[in-house]
Structure formats: C-alpha cells, structure tokens
Amino acid sequence: MGIKSSNTSAIANATSVPWPTWSTQLDEAKAGEMTHKEIAELAYSLMPQAVENPGWWAQSVAVAYEQQIGRRLPGQAQDGTFQGSVSTTVAADLDTALARWEEQVDGMDVFNGQTLAEPARSSGSERWRYWRASFSDGTKAQVDIGLKGDKSSVAINITKAETPDQVSEWKSFWRQILAEFKQ
C-alpha cells in the first residue's frame, strides 16, 4: 500500500506521554464516540504545557487514535479520501527552486495519465513558495518549497485520492519527476 500508520513513538517522544497513556485517557473519555475535532480538542486539553506546537501534536494524537480504533486507515483524511507526500532537498533558494519546478513541469500535458483540470498556479509568502494543481481524476497536488538551511526542501503533497493505491501511484510518479528535477 505504501502508506504508513501514525508514528505513536514520535507522539510519545514529542509529548513525553507514552502512547498507551494517551490511548487509555482517550478511551476513558469515550473519544471513540467523538468527532475528529472533539478528539483533537480533548488531546489538546490533555497536552503537557511544555510541548512545542501542541495543536499540531493534538491533531496527530487524534489521527493515531482514529487509526487505532479502526475509524481511519493510514493516509486517510477526515473526508474519507487519501493523501500522501514525497519530498527532496535541492541546492537552491526559494525563488530559484520554484522557477526550476515550474520549468520542470511546464508544457506537461499528462501527469500520471491525468490531465490538468484547470491551469496550475503558483504563489508564495515570505517563507514559502507553492505550486498547486488539480487533475482529471479528482486528485490534487501541492508543492511546498521551504528553506532548509542554505537549501530548499521540495515536498509534493497528494490529496483527494480515492484509494491508498491511487496515492501510491501518484507517489511513484512524483518521485520520478523529483529525480529529474534534482539533476
């Protein structure tokens, strides 16, 4: 399938709360009867004060718990679709990396056997550059380019896939594009 379950060890390391403790606390609060948002809010309320980025970790706890109780498969978003990502690092600043990316995909009519549902678009902020595209199979891709020291990290996030296999196919496609991009 190619999609990993949530990393409960990473959650335990970041929050200093062992996963069995999280699981017990959520079970005792009847989190299995709650919505995703309610589980995340509960996890946030239980989060130790010293945790950096507690909102992000609360979301991670909620997703891992939903996977544990069988409500969500690995890689499955709240809306039932699937998502995944691939990434690489290139020796370039943000603007150069985005320009290289746009050059890499410029003129491509077919992506993984799919056509663009609408023209791709690029944007940026002070710290990030983005390229977004929607495809004829309903999937979407967002390329996030951010600084990583004196290099740029290029992550391609695939969303709105109907199955885990579709995510795997897109990941294989994007890995090939990234390999060409790095040359």
Rounded Cα gap, residues 1 and 178, in angstroms? 21
Rounded mean pLDDT, 80-87: 93
Overall average pLDDT of the 39-49 stretch? 96
d(CA 84, CA 8): 18
Q: What pLDDT, on the 0 to 100 scale, is given for residue 162?
A: 95
pLDDT of residue 74 exceeding 90, the answer is no
Q: 151-161 and 140-148: which strand pairing? A: antiparallel
DSSP letter for 138, please: S
What's the mean pLDDT in 2-7?
62
Quote the CA–CA distance of 133 and 140 in Å, as a whole number. 6
Mean of pLDDT values over 139-147: 96
pLDDT at 86 over 70: yes
Q: Extract the tokens encoding 81.
A: 């679709």
Question: Quick one: which of 4, 29, 9, 6 has its CA closest to 19?
Answer: 9
Place of tokens 């977004």: 132
Q: What percent of the chain has pLDDT over 70?
A: 97
Identify which of 146, 162, 51 has the alpha carbon closest to the alpha carbon of residue 61: 51
- The arithmetic mean of pLDDT across residues 136-157, rounded, is 96
Q: Is the pTM of this model over 0.85?
A: no
Tens-digit pLDDT profile for residues 23-34: 999 999 999 999
- Whether 88 contacts 104, CB under 8 Å: no
CB 132 within 8 A of CB 141: yes
| Average of per-residue pLDDT across 36-51 | 96
**pLDDT at 2 (0 to 100):** 47
Q: What is the pLDDT of residues 97-113, one digit of tens each?
A: 999 999 999 999 999 99
Which CATH code of 3.30.310.50, 3.40.50.300, 3.10.180.10, 3.90.930.12 fits the domain covering 82-182?
3.30.310.50
Q: Quick one: pLDDT at residue 5?
A: 63
Write down the mean pLDDT value for the chain.
93
pLDDT value of residue 76: 87
pLDDT of residue 78: 84
**Residue 183 pLDDT > 90:** no
